[in-house]
Amino acid sequence: MGGVLSIKIGDNVFDYSKNFKLYFTSKLRNPHFTPEISTRVTILNYTITKEGLQDQLLELCVGKEQPED
């Protein structure tokens, strides 16, 4: 779209904003996501213990600070 980042949802095209965040929740105990989705999103499992969630978040932070080549 003329060098402007945009998102197409159905027939509508929206300008992309780096500040935009979209959150989804699921009541499914073990939802399945395709590999294409899994590589583009951050999935947090809130059914785990507090320590497990801390480990997940730490792993995400370390991955952003020290990405593996």
Number of domains the chain is built from: 1
Does any domain span residue 29?
yes
* Chain segment 11-69, per-residue pLDDT in tens: 999 888 888 887 888 787 778 888 888 888 888 777 778 887 888 888 888 888 877 76
Residue 54 lies in a domain: yes
pTM above 0.75, yes or no: no
Identify whether 45 is part of a domain.
Answer: yes
Q: How far is CA 15 from CA 4, 6, 7, 9, 19, in A?
A: 7, 4, 6, 11, 12
55 lies in a domain? yes
**Residue 29 domain boundaries:** 23-69
- Quote the pLDDT of residue 11: 93
Q: Is residue 66 part of a domain?
A: yes
State the pLDDT confidence band at 4, using cuts at 50, 70 and 90: confident
Asked if 5 contacts 15 with a C-beta cutoff of 8 angstroms, the reply is: yes
pLDDT at residue 2 is higher than 70: no
In the prediction, which pLDDT does 69 show? Answer: 60
